[in-house]
Amino acid sequence: MKIPFSFALFSALIFSAQNCSEHSGKTAEPPTPDAIMAPVSLPEGFNEYWYAGKAELCTYEVTQERYGEIRQAEQVNVFVTEDFSRAKQVKLDDPAAAPTDRVPVLKLNLIRRFHTGIYDYSIMQSVFTPVSGLSTLKTTTTVQDWCGQVFMQNNLEKDGYHLRGFSYFESEGDQDLRLPLTLLEDEIWTRIRLNPSALPTGKLSIIPSAIYTRLRHKPGGAQNAEIKIEKGEKESDLKIVYTDIPRALSIRFTTAFPYKILGWEETHEGKIVSKGELKATIRSAYWEAHDNLHAPLRDSLKLRF
């Protein structure tokens, strides 16, 4: 079954870092609607895969740079569809009671964990993208370590995005910003799963990943970049190369539906800062598997952390 949808403008997620003097000094112009909108159809089998009452759980073996050293890390990607409230931008408790407010979304919960010497890091990011392909409604990013935590939330509003950020760093402080629309790197992962052929390619502006800017203590903002997709028979590769900051990202995924994420490589100043390789995948109604007797399911995902 094919369901037509069109892309609207993409969302933006930015936040200020510890020192605004670190900004590159260049602000990219937002892409024009023609550059990022492309009428496409969801692939055959989309409903059967994503509306079978199960989430897709993928684990990745990760190498993560922190404080100039490479750490062994692990990441879990949880992709699942759910009914979201357009007005409140939270999961609906009773979708049938709110038919005009209901928005079906593809949600990504990304969890990455690693150790730095005696203490550890935990990163989580959530992205809520309508399956119609319209603008992402909400993103959140949080980073915790033994020093403290940072939380950022970005919500779609009528004329742009509302970003709120909370940090234990004095120089970052609490933030409440109104932002325009532009392409967000962090939503590319959900858009690959919807239909990678609908992603914009060529030169455009992108908001770099919130995880990248947080760990690098860089301020946010739109940056000039170029997106290319190299399509292979079994695997395809999406590449993002930024023009004015020393960052690049490559995401590998299966060429055929369900466009499973196979791995990625992220570089800063030409050096790898994170690299992931798929370890295991299962489909599960994991929210029901919360008893002690379900613990062996973790073995099927090859989880270490």
Which pLDDT score, from 0 to 100, does residue 220 have? 67
Q: What pLDDT sits at residue 175?
A: 83
- pLDDT tens string for the chain (305 positions)? 433 333 333 333 333 333 333 333 444 444 343 334 443 579 999 999 999 999 999 999 999 999 999 999 999 999 999 999 999 999 999 999 999 999 999 999 999 999 999 999 999 999 999 998 888 899 999 999 999 999 989 888 887 778 888 888 887 778 888 877 888 899 999 999 999 999 989 999 888 898 988 888 887 677 899 999 999 999 999 999 999 999 999 999 999 999 999 999 999 999 999 999 999 999 999 999 999 999 999 999 999 99
CA distances from 159 to 155, 180, 246, 273 (A): 11, 7, 31, 35
Q: What is the dihedral of CA 61, 65, 192, 197, to 10 degrees?
A: -120
C-alpha torsion sign, points 283, 285, 287, 293: negative
Q: Give the single-character DSSP code of 197.
A: G
How far is 35 from 224, CA to CA, in rounded Å? 14
Task: Note the pTM of the prediction, 2 decimals.
Answer: 0.86
> For residue 85, which amino acid is it?
S
| Cβ pair 222, 12 in contact under 8 A | yes
Spatial neighbors of 72 by CB under 8 A, at least 6 apart, are: 62, 63, 64, 114, 115
**φ, ψ (nearest 5 deg) of residue 300:** -70, -20
In this structure, are residues 78 and 289 in contact, taking their beta carbons and an 8 Å threshold?
no
Instruction: Return the closest-CA partner of residue 277 out of 265, 263, 289.
Output: 263
